[in-house]
């Protein structure tokens, strides 16, 4: 089975281009420049209608921090219900407490509200005080099916040893380590063979000129798909 390829989409055109070029799954976001915020209901519905691959939607009300107050949670729970009603496959979300641990109580409320939607814990994970401890918390929640991580670094390419360790820690569980941030077409095959990750996540790396605000480049997506298929784990 080849490595799963998830691609960020910010428009319907992005979504179509990525899906047609071989992406297995999409992460739908708006405001890429701020690390991704919750997209509009109209965009979610349009993307779900436009593609046949699973669409996971980021639920992130602002880019100030990953520590949320009671009002933020009220907003996120409403957004989760809207994402579910729009027919998406899952949500991409993450929250920390003030000590830098996973906000277990907040995450438990999210899992309950998601009611069967796939949950990816996003790169808030990389800001946790201890990545192994944070992964242990996530492994204790059946609803969390993926953790998106760059191994605690700005680029995942700077943290292959950490990613390998997280992959080993999650091995045999319900949760997949999704490696992302900083991956490039040129580096992906070596990275996958060194770390044994089962899923990779691309944003800027498969966009025109590597620019996060540019459209998805279907030729790059197809190239990554071919490289991943050649690494057959």
pLDDT, one tens digit per residue, over 6-35 is 999 999 999 999 999 999 999 999 999 899
Distances (CA, A) of 97 to 65, 75, 151: 10, 18, 19
Q: What pLDDT, on the 0 to 100 scale, is given for residue 85?
A: 97
Q: Give the pLDDT band (50/70/90) at residue 2.
A: confident
Give the span between the Cα atoms of 75 and 70, in whole angstroms. 9
Q: What is the DSSP string of 108-149?
A: HHHHHHHTT-EEEE-GGGGGSS-HHHHHHHHHT-TTEEEEEE
In angstroms, the CA 3 to CA 65 distance is: 31
CATH value of 4-231 in 3.20.20.380, 3.30.70.100, 3.40.50.800, 3.40.640.10: 3.20.20.380
Q: What is the pLDDT of residues 180-224, one digit of tens each?
A: 999 999 999 999 999 999 999 999 999 999 999 999 999 999 999
SS3 for 191? Answer: helix
Instruction: Note the pTM of the prediction, 2 decimals.
Output: 0.97
Q: What pLDDT shows up at residue 55? A: 98
Contact between 29 and 18 under an 8 Å Cβ cutoff? The reply is no
Q: Residue 231: which pLDDT band, with cuts at 50, 70 and 90?
A: confident
């Amino acid at each position: 089975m080849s490595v799963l390829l998830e691609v960020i989409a910010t428009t319907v055109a992005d979504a179509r281009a990525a899906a047609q070029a071989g992406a297995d799954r999409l992460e739908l976001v708006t405001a890429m420049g701020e690390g991704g915020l919750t997209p509009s209901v109209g965009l979610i519905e349009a993307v779900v209608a436009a593609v046949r691959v699973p669409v996971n939607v980021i639920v992130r009300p602002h880019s100030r921090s990953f520590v949320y107050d009671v009002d933020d949670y009220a907003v996120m729970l409403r957004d989760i219900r809207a994402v579910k009603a729009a027919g998406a496959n899952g949500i991409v979300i993450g929250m920390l407490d003030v000590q830098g641990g996973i906000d277990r109580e907040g995450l438990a409320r999210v899992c309950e509200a998601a009611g069967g939607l796939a949950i990816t814990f996003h790169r808030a994970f990389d800001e946790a005080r201890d990545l192994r401890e944070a992964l242990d918390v996530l492994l204790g929640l059946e609803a969390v099916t993926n953790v998106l991580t760059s191994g605690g670094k700005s680029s995942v390419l700077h943290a292959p040893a950490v990613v390998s360790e997280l992959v080993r820690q999650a091995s045999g569980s319900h949760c997949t380590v999704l490696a992302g941030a900083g991956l490039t077409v040129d580096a992906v095959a070596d990275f996958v063979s060194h770390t044994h990750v089962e899923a990779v996540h691309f944003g800027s790396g498969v966009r025109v000129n590597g620019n996060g605000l540019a459209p998805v480049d279907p030729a790059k997506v197809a190239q990554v798909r071919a490289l991943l298929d050649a690494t057959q784990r």
